Amino acid sequence: MKNFSEELEKRIKWVESVIEEFLPNEDTKQKIVMEAMNYSVRAGGKRLRPLLLSEMSEMFGMDKENVKPFMAVMEYIHTYSLVHDDLPAMDNDEYRRGRKTTHKQFGEAIGILAGDALLNYAFETGINAILTFEYPKRAVAALAVIASKSGIYGMIGGQTVDIISEGKQLDKDTLDYINELKTGALIEASMMAGAILAGADEEEIFTIERAASKIGQAFQIQDDVLDVISTTKELGKPVHSDEKNCKSTYVNLMDVEKAKDEVKRLSDEAVLELKSLKRENQFLFKLIEWLINRTK
């Protein structure tokens, strides 16, 4: 792959079009909730979860066109979690990616409803896709993983521990636990679901879950490092926000250099795990490298 960043841009563009394709029309008397859903989804971002899902499907020999609804499912679940996370009772954020957060733009009641609507719509999209997918049993298995990783033993669980830990100085085990669930779980779900849809076997899925967990952790530590070493201009969002919010991070627990080493170690291990599957996807390996060397 000569020019990774060009290829990345191309693939993200395609992912964007897929996510767009499944969004609801803004019609009926309740169209404000559709507008708020679409506003939230269109706020941008790395589109990492649907990208990982489609790349894993490709790695296991499935045409990415076939997994489109499941890509949308992952992005809608991720988006709903951000919309609710930004609410006044949660992180109380007024801006995300340079735009007003959903509840600042549409009011708090519609913010809550738009988050609910995105979660419900994600499952609606996924369940409707079961019957049109060539292998319905795989689709059910993929959705079961997605539902579990999004729920109380996954993302919502991580969010809960994060909320009740506010203002406390956390040890590394608790921080790992929060990140594994809050960030890791959806990355695991995306990679596992992509492989399940493409027919990977149980042992392969376990390997992918382990690799994805390491990618998630490396991703989170890199986020903490960037918050400390970047300037606001480089990062495109306020820096040192963790310190200001008294948030426990990996950089509190180890110095920046040690955290960087940890990111390198975790991502090397993740790539090794994935390579052990003996399936080719050069782009995916480059993507993982990029994720942990990124400067924003």
Residues of the shown chain interacting with its own copies in the complex, contacts defined by CB under 8 A: 24, 28-30, 32-34, 37, 80, 84, 87, 89-90, 107-113, 115-117, 119-121, 123-124, 127-128, 130-131, 136-137, 140-141, 143-144, 147-148, 150-153, 156-161, 163-164, 174, 177, 181
Whole-angstrom distance, CA of residue 262 vs CA of residue 138: 35
Which one-letter amino acid corresponds to residue 51?
Answer: L
Query: CA-based angle 161:163:167, to the nearest 5?
Result: 105
CB of 71 vs its own copies, minimal distance in Å: 18
Task: For CA atoms 128, 156, 182, 271, give the dihedral sign.
Answer: negative
Query: CA-based angle 241:246:251, to the nearest 5?
Result: 75
CB of 145 vs its own copies, minimal distance in Å: 10
CB of 92 vs its own copies, minimal distance in Å: 10
CB of 28 vs its own copies, minimal distance in Å: 7
Q: Toward its own copies, which CB reaches closer, 246 or 272? A: 246
- Which backbone phi and psi does 100 adopt, to 5 degrees? -60, 140
Residue 95: strand, helix, or coil:
strand
Q: Are 206 and 195 in contact (CB under 8 A)?
A: no
Residue 192 C-alpha from the chain's centroid = 13
CB of 261 vs its own copies, minimal distance in Å: 27
CB of 228 vs its own copies, minimal distance in Å: 26
Q: Toward its own copies, which CB reaches closer, 87 or 235? A: 87
Q: Which neighbouring-strand residues pair with 95?
A: 100
Q: Residue 126: count other Cβ atoms within 10 Å of its Cβ.
A: 24
Whole-angstrom distance, CA of residue 139 vs CA of residue 148: 14
Q: Toward its own copies, which CB reaches closer, 118 or 287? A: 118
Q: Residue 72: count other Cβ atoms within 10 Å of its Cβ.
A: 25
- Which backbone phi and psi does 262 adopt, to 5 degrees? -65, -40
Residue 144: strand, helix, or coil:
helix
Instruction: Work out the angle between the directed axes of helices 48-59 and 4-21 (0-180°, nearest 10).
Output: 100
CB of 63 vs its own copies, minimal distance in Å: 23
Tokens of 78: 């991720």
Q: Toward its own copies, which CB reaches closer, 183 or 267? A: 183
Element (H, E) at 74: helix 68-85
CB of 110 vs its own copies, minimal distance in Å: 7
